[in-house]
Chains A and B, each alone.
Chain A
Amino acid sequence: MSDELPTELWRRAPAFAGEAPSILLVDDEPTVLQTLSHQLGGNYRVVTAPDGLTALDALDRHGPFAAIVSDMRMPGMDGIELLEQVRLRHPEISRVLHTAQADLSSAISAINEGQVFRFLCKPCPTRELRGTVRDAVEHHRLVTAEREILDKTLRTSLQALFGCLELASPQAFARAGRIRDLVGELCRELGLSNVWEIEVAAMASQLGAVTLPPSVLQKLDRGLPLPDDEQKMIDAMPGITARLLGDVPMLEDVVEIVRGLQPADGGEPHAPVRPSGPMVPVAIDVLRAAIEFEAFASRDVAAENAVAVLEERGGYDAEVLAALRRARGVTAPQETVRPFRVGELEVGMRIAEDVVAVNGPVLIGRGLLVTEMLLERLTNYKHIVQIVEPIWAAVPGTSVSAPPAVPVPRSAVAA
Chain B
Amino acid sequence: MTVRGTTLSIRARIADLIEDDTPEEVAFTERLIVSFLDRAPVLLADLTAAIGTADLDAAVHWAHTLKGASANLGVDTLASLCAEAERLAEEARSDLLAAQPALLESALAEAGTAFAEVLGDLRSGRPTG
Contacts and interface: CB of A to CB of B under 8 A. Distances in A.
Given A100-B71, A122-B72, A127-B19, A38 B35 contact: no
Interface string A1-33: 000000000001000000000000001110110
Contacts of A125: 16
Contacts of B35: 31, 34
Nearest to B69: A31
A27 B69 CA distance: 11
B68 A100 contact: yes
B68 A29 contact: yes
Nearest to A130: B19
B61 to A, nearest CB: 8
Interface in A46-89: 71, 73, 75
Contacts of A371: none
Contacts of B67: 100
B16 A31 contact: no
Contacts of A127: 16, 19
A57 to B, nearest CB: 23
Interface residues of B, number: 23
Contact of B71 (A42, A73, A122): A122
B68 to A, nearest CB: 4
B24 A35 contact: no
A32 B16 contact: no
A123 B69 contact: no
Contacts of B73: 31, 123
A71 B19 CA distance: 23
Contacts of A32: 68-69, 72
A38 B28 contact: yes
A122 B68 contact: yes
A106 interface: no
Contacts of B24: 12
A31 B71 contact: no
Contacts of B74: 123
Contact of B65 (A29, A34, A38, A126): A29
B45 interface: no
Contacts of A100: 67-68, 71, 83
A109 B65 CA distance: 23
Interface string B47-81: 00000000000000100110111011110000000
B31 to A, nearest CB: 8
A211 interface: no
B33 to A, nearest CB: 10
A31 B36 contact: yes
A39 interface: yes
B21 interface: no
Nearest to A121: B71
A38 B17 contact: yes
B79 to A, nearest CB: 8
A316 to B, nearest CB: 58
Contacts of A29: 65, 68-69, 72
A269 B39 CA distance: 68
B89 to A, nearest CB: 14
Contacts of A39: 17
B86 to A, nearest CB: 10
B14 to A, nearest CB: 11
B71 A123 contact: yes
A126 B25 CA distance: 12
Interface in A86-116: 100
Given A31-B32, A31-B36, A126-B19, A38 B25 contact: yes
Contacts of B71: 100, 122-123
Interface of B: 13, 16-17, 19-20, 24-25, 28, 32, 35-36, 39, 61, 64-65, 67-69, 71-74, 83
Given A28-B65, A31-B72, A39-B17, 18 more contacts: A12-B24, A27-B68, A31-B39, A31-B69, A34-B35, A35-B72, A38-B25, A42-B20, A100-B67, A100-B71, A122-B68, A122-B72, A123-B71, A123-B73, A123-B74, A126-B16, A126-B19, A127-B16
25 contacts: A29-B65, A29-B68, A29-B72, A31-B32, A31-B39, A31-B68, A31-B69, A31-B73, A32-B69, A35-B17, A38-B17, A38-B28, A38-B32, A39-B17, A42-B20, A71-B68, A75-B61, A100-B67, A100-B68, A123-B71, A123-B72, A123-B73, A126-B16, A126-B17, A127-B19
Interface of A: 12, 27-29, 31-32, 34-35, 38-39, 42, 71, 73, 75, 100, 122-123, 125-127
Cβ-closest 6 pairs across A and B: A29-B68, A32-B72, A123-B71, A126-B16, A126-B19, A38-B28
